[in-house]
Structure 1
């Protein structure tokens, strides 16, 4: 029997955000591999093996999934959001690149999902309507100096900027550092949107500015959106403002 490795994006929250293709892959899989909270989100199926692990063992998790696939198993390795955006697809291919040559011939299929960035944008309106970039503020795999350089160039380039991994217990001040850097290049009235726990029970959307944003409101469940010069707010009397970025560059 030939094995198959599905790399599946679960979306940002519950099964409402799960694509039909992802549902089919998860139902077919004999083994579910992933970070423990993500594995817990996969519907239970009789006879299916579930291998859950800690957050910082992505390469070990990828190797486990690849080894099982090589044995002829149908495996699904799961990520929140989209597996190709700061998630498990890159880890799997890194493991393939540095692993046994046989792994290069395995049947590996990427099943896309709704990313946190897309979910946050949908709640806000259309802030990603023109050029944008995504930057992870985690310095686990890159230096803070590299992050600072990318923030500066994104600000100078007038991109809408989204922050993944904006804050954690291990680095609670980095988000404040990022805002301080951006204030050197962007006006204080620049739009900032905080999309917290989108699709979950404690969802919260905060519209603010670079000058007024409160870093204490930001945690790992928050997707941060920094506007560009073409980002606009449409005021509404009885509902939260809509936010969009003009399709035409200023």
Structure 2
């Protein structure tokens, strides 16, 4: 580590409050994809909490005084634990995958933080799946795009249907999160049918990336018609192109318009 880097870390440490929760986006999962700010927050934390899978990913690299891990559906418990721990004078890092503000933990934490005026909250951004997976495919999101989750655990399916229809009618590029699970194995197929019924043609260029930034990463470029019959899982991010998206040398590319 350089002297300059050590100075920057000391300066970072002095400028931060003590009763604080850093809500940290970890990116795809590998430490390689962490931002420098995220690394600093984790290195300076007295306690780190998060979903068990993410804790297992970072614990070897960031030892600290205390770890707290819970399973799925216990997000509010993790937020309360982080705020209560910070109230005792600890610096706490609440971690999540991707970006903390994109389907991440920043929103519920900030909602609950209203009841903890003595605790500061700092949001530390990360690399969300739409961007990291897009880099694997090429440049699928180079023009206007939207991100839609197909999980109806927190959002009614009727709302998701409307958003899919509007995205298709507007000819947006679309990144789909949570495209399928054991409890809803046909949701991607339903989404494709909605997109096609609202203007996306069967030859629309699409892409899949599974296990982004992790062992076993795989990617594929295909058409919307092919996508309808392609099985995916929760570890897959799906990309739907717009009317100008092309498959170029095996990459998914949405022209920005410069060549015009």
Q: How many matched pairs?
A: 241
Q: Are the aligned partners of 2:206 and 2:252 in contact in 1 as well (CA < 8 Å)?
A: no
1:164 aligned residue: 177
- The 5 Å alignment of 1:17-56 reads 17-44=33-60, 45-56=62-73
Deviation at 1:47, TM superposition (A): 4.6
Could you tell me which runs of 5 or more consecutive residues in structure 2 were left unpaired when the two chains were aligned. Answer: 1-16
1:243 aligned residue: 252
Separation (CA, whole Å) in 2 of partners of 1:191 and 1:104 = 49
TM-score by length of 1: 0.91
Deviation at 1:130, TM superposition (A): 0.6
Q: Quick one: structure 1 residues 215 and 112, their matched pair in 2 at CA, closer, same or farther if it must change by over 3 Å? A: farther
Q: Are the aligned partners of 1:30 and 1:48 in contact in 2 as well (CA < 8 Å)?
A: yes
Deviation at 1:35, TM superposition (A): 0.4
Separation (CA, whole Å) in 2 of partners of 1:46 and 1:229 = 48
Q: Quick one: structure 1 residues 215 and 202, their matched pair in 2 at CA, closer, same or farther if it must change by over 3 Å? A: farther
RMSD of aligned Cα (Å):
1.7
SS of corresponding position for 2:126: coil
SS of corresponding position for 1:181: helix
Separation (CA, whole Å) in 2 of partners of 1:232 and 1:104 = 51
Q: Quick one: structure 1 residues 46 and 157, their matched pair in 2 at CA, closer, same or farther if it must change by over 3 Å? A: closer
Q: Quick one: structure 1 residues 221 and 187, their matched pair in 2 at CA, closer, same or farther if it must change by over 3 Å? A: same
1:238 aligned residue: none
Separation (CA, whole Å) in 2 of partners of 1:106 and 1:38 = 24
Deviation at 1:135, TM superposition (A): 0.4
1:107 aligned residue: 120
Deviation at 1:58, TM superposition (A): 1.1
Pick one of 155, 161, 169 that aligns with 1:142: 155
After TM superposition, the structure 1 stretch with the greater mean CA deviation from structure 2, 153-162 or 211-220, is 211-220
Separation (CA, whole Å) in 1 of partners of 2:220 and 2:124 = 31
2:77 aligned residue: 60
2:216 aligned residue: 202
Separation (CA, whole Å) in 2 of partners of 1:216 and 1:244 = 21
Which stretches of structure 1, 4 residues or longer, exceed 4 Å deviation after superposition? none
SS of corresponding position for 2:93: strand
Separation (CA, whole Å) in 2 of partners of 1:215 and 1:108 = 44
Q: Are the aligned partners of 1:175 and 1:215 in contact in 2 as well (CA < 8 Å)?
A: no
Deviation at 1:104, TM superposition (A): 3.7
TM-score by length of 2: 0.88
Q: Are the aligned partners of 2:19 and 2:91 in contact in 1 as well (CA < 8 Å)?
A: yes
